[in-house]
Amino acid sequence: MSVISQDDLIDSVCDALQFMSYYHPKDYIDAVHEAWKREESKAAKDAMAQILVNSRMCAEGKRPLCQDTGIVTVFIKVGMNVQWNATMSLTDMINEGVRRAYTHPDNKLRASILADPAGARKNTGDNTPAVIHTEIVEGDTVEFEIAAKGGGSENKSKLVMLNPSDSIVDWVVKTVPTMGAGWCPPGMLGIGIGGTSEKAAVLAKQSLMAPVDIQQLKDRGPSNRIEELRLEIFEAVNALGIGAQGLGGLTTVVDVKILDFPTHAASKPVAMIPNCAATRHAHFVLDGSGPALQTPPSLKDWPAITYDAGAGARRVNLDTVTPADVTSWKPGETLLLSGSMLTGRDAAHKKIQSLLESGEGLPEGVDFNGKFIYYVGPVDPVRDEVVGPAGPTTSTRMDKFTEMMLDQYGLLGMIGKAERGEAGINAIRKHKAVYLMAVGGAAYLVSKAIRKSRVVAFEELGMEAIHEFVVEDMPVTVAVDSTGESVHITGPALWKGKLDRGEVKPVYFK
């Protein structure tokens, strides 16, 4: 029999969340490095280079891999013989660990959790509560699997109730392209099969706690139908040519994980949840001997890769850029941005729309005319930082506001993550504007280009307030040009064609 203390559990949860915020699992870094070495698409290779450089910077600086530090999910197995030295409930102890981790003065993490999700959507301020799955098992230990799941990848989760005779592989291959690139590939796909609808979703999420081991599986060969499915789906998804950040390339997923459960004879529930480039999970066991703290990796585990936008990158002064300049930018071209830009996400856009409809107009000092807006919700700064990690958020969420921003407020361009939808592209084409893409999963790297930051409106929205950033040589890619051509359409189509014709191999296998 072991006695688990309240302080040990809280400290262990806090430590795990801090640890995973700035240390990638080594297996993921190894997989992305292997994919980078074999990638033949320059755009995808550059994106993976930024992810790898950002990862090392975060490990060195102990700052978040991504500005979206996630919603905390916990799978906990409590031994039946465990006794507690605690005054708080298990849920309250876990949430206290989350609270301490996300408000840690040396490494603040972004508070992203909103209470009253169908109503006021007010930020809880400390990223609580966590989503907790508890299982009572034999034994006298408490085992944790804990993750911080970003909203961009979580929003791409899919659930289907297939007929028993339907092909899971066919459904996955049909569905992955509909997810776009907002989940920041290259990552992992977690798939849950069986049980009921909610059980399949939980299985998919839990499967993502396992390490990347698809190469080892291929080397030894599958020993059951689930392992066969993993390999089939892995190869089929990479053959789609979606590539890193959806720019077209050879590696879209570095692994596929599957868990299954017995199901009803009439059913075949299947859930699919992607893990993004900021893969964050940790594991520990409490046995009564004290807190279970994570062991830091060696910086030697990171590949010696540097990122340089290259001599061919076009330098752009955001303070003097004109509509005529924008029309000369080509799809896929790399730009280095300097000057001032404004920021705004969902809540800010919704508030701007309300002000327009009421006739109030924008707050004093906010002027989008001829400006660029960056879709970002940054992490609060610590120490001498101008701003914390500040990577882009998924741009399609702002598509419904794009016509308003271009037509009513004279916005010239937008910067965000992944593709734009039909409404966004149509508005860009109509107004001869432009959409630029920054790499999701390189938030700390991006933040180093930000020289000044101040809140200019909607301070009450927290990380969703409108900021003014002054940047220097911020790297971006022209993702939708002024004619409406999108690299997220042309890139994957180009590389899928190469793969279909056998001109390139679709996987990074050795």
Q: Which of 178, 287, 176, 180 is nearest to 235 (CA)?
A: 176
- Location of structure tokens 């790898």: 52
* Per-residue pLDDT at 506: 75
* Per-residue pLDDT at 306: 85
Q: Is 243 left (phi over 0), alpha (psi -120 to 50) or beta?
A: left
Which parts of 137-281 fold into alpha helices (H)? 151-154, 168-175, 197-207, 214-220, 225-238
Pair 395, 377: CB distance under 8 Å: no
- How many Cα atoms sit within 13 Å of 18 on the Cβ side? 22
Q: How far apart are CA 172 and CA 170, in angstroms?
A: 6
Rg (CA), the chain: 23
Per-residue pLDDT of the chain (510 residues), as tens digits, is 899 999 999 999 999 999 999 999 999 999 999 999 999 999 999 999 999 999 999 999 999 999 999 999 999 999 999 999 999 999 999 999 999 999 999 999 999 999 999 999 999 999 999 999 999 999 999 999 999 999 999 999 999 999 999 999 999 999 999 999 999 999 999 999 999 999 999 999 999 999 999 999 999 999 999 999 999 999 999 999 999 999 999 999 999 999 999 999 999 999 999 999 999 999 999 999 999 999 999 999 999 888 887 778 999 999 999 999 999 999 999 999 999 999 999 999 999 999 999 999 999 989 999 999 999 999 999 989 999 999 999 999 999 999 999 999 999 999 999 999 999 999 999 999 999 999 998 999 999 999 999 999 999 998 899 999 999 999 999 999 999 999 999 999 999 999 999 999 877 665
Q: Which of 261, 239, 258 is nearest to 248 (CA)?
A: 239
Q: If residue 426 lies in a helix (H) or strand (E), which one and from where to where?
A: helix 422-431
* Per-residue pLDDT at 311: 76
pTM exceeds 0.75: yes
Q: If residue 50 lies in a helix (H) or strand (E), which one and from where to where?
A: helix 42-61
DSSP state of 454: E
Indicate the burial class of 421 (C-beta count within 10 angstroms; 0-12, 13-18, 19 or more).
Answer: middle
Pair 268, 194: CB distance under 8 Å: yes
Pair 318, 342: CB distance under 8 Å: no
* Per-residue pLDDT at 310: 72
DSSP state of 209: T
First to last CA, the chain: 47
Q: How many helices (H) and strands (E) does the chain have?
A: 15, 19
Burial string for 56-70 (b: 16+ CB within 10 Å, else e) reads: bbbbebebbbbbbbb
Residue ranges of domains in the chain, CATH in brackets: 2-287 (no CATH), 314-493 (3.20.130.10)
